[in-house]
Amino acid sequence: MNHQDLLRTFGLDAGTLSAGGLPVHSPIDGARLADLRPHDADEARRMIAQAHGAFLAWRQVPAPRRGELVRLLGEELRSHKQALGRLVSLEAGKITAEGEGEVQEMIDICDFAVGLSRQLHGLTIASERPGHRMMETWHPLGVVGVISAFNFPVAVWSWNTALALVCGDPVVWKPSEKTPLTALACQALFRRALARFGDAPDGLLHVLVGARDLGEALVDDPRVALVSATGSTRMGREVGPRVAQRFGRCLLELGGN
């Protein structure tokens, strides 16, 4: 199967793959896989706004029901493990076994998150007031921004997204500009899970295709409650203070080996 046939299995059409502006190459042999149109800052803001609107509805959905969407996503990943693993290999340069292994990590985190969706309970705490007890309740945060690196193009997104969704939080994903095709493939599989789920709000997952400026849009937007970023320590030194300045939250995985 050539790369065009592979991409068509995820519903990525020729128009999308040849829109121009962002060339995508395979590190295996330098082959040009696609020319995508990058998003601009206005589109990023619209996506964040739609994700925030989805949050207002999704947080009201019972957590076990939210877990059902993640279960369906896990089924889609199982059905497309070989194809997505092959795409990871083609775009990130990994051997096929490692590409499929990364997809297996995605499946595993979906299984974990489905179980977690029925365990989001809090403590019941003794009170100093007679006849009273205090109850602890966890609330969804809001939009989660995910900035992922080229070397694990899909697993890192899944770790964040499966957990965010069961907790009531939509995701806006900025993948590495070196590996946008795997991100678009994941988005396509997620849409198939959404279609089977039936009644989810629009905007639970967006993919931002482009360069650093789109990551900065996620970092600086006050509607993005948490930024999960994977990359260099230099990036973390920039992301952390900028998110903290607006009292947002960060998950930073930096300088990994």
Q: Is residue 61 part of a domain?
A: yes
Chain segment 80-124, per-residue pLDDT in tens: 999 999 999 999 999 999 999 999 999 999 999 999 999 999 999
Domain of residue 155 covers 41-119+140-254
Q: Nearest to residue 158, comparing CAs of 89, 84, 96, 213?
A: 84
Q: Is residue 109 part of a domain?
A: yes
SS3 labels along the chain: CCHHHHHHCCCCCHHHHCCCCEEEECCCCCCEEEEECCCCHHHHHHHHHHHHHHHHHHCCCCHHHHHHHHHHHHHHHHHCHHHHHHHHHHHHCCCHHHHHHHHHHHHHHHHHHHHHCCCCCCCEEECCCCCCEEECCCCCCCEEEEECCCCCCCHHHHHHHHHHHHHCCCEEEECCCCCHHHHHHHHHHHHHHHHHHCCCCCCCEEECCCCHHHHHHHHHCCCEEEEEEEECHHHHHHHHHHHHHCCCEEEEEECCC
What b/e readout covers 139-149, taking b as 16+ CB neighbours within 10 angstroms? ebbbbbbbbbb
Domain at 204, CATH number: 3.40.605.10
Q: Is residue 26 part of a domain?
A: no
Give the pLDDT band (50/70/90) at residue 15.
Answer: confident
Q: Is residue 129 part of a domain?
A: no
Per-residue model confidence (pLDDT) at position 18: 86
Per-residue model confidence (pLDDT) at position 232: 93
**Is residue 2's pLDDT more than 90?**
no
Number of domains in the chain: 1
Q: What is the pTM of this model?
A: 0.94
Q: Is residue 246 part of a domain?
A: yes
Q: Name the β-bridge partners of 171.
A: 144, 205
Per-residue model confidence (pLDDT) at position 153: 96
Instruction: Find the mean pLDDT for residues 30-54.
Output: 96
- 121 phi, psi to nearest 5 deg: -95, 155
Per-residue model confidence (pLDDT) at position 5: 86
Q: Is residue 3 part of a domain?
A: no
SS3 labels along 98-152: HHHHHHHHHHHHHHHHHHHCCCCCCCEEECCCCCCEEECCCCCCCEEEEECCCCC
Looking only at the bridges linking them, the beta strands covering 224-231 and 249-254 are parallel
Chain segment 58-68, per-residue pLDDT in tens: 999 999 999 99
Chain segment 160-205, per-residue pLDDT in tens: 999 999 999 999 999 999 999 999 999 999 999 999 999 999 999 9
Give the pLDDT band (50/70/90) at residue 257.
Answer: low
- The distance of Cα 31 from the centroid of its chain, to the nearest Å, equals 27
Q: Is residue 92 part of a domain?
A: yes
Q: Is residue 212 part of a domain?
A: yes
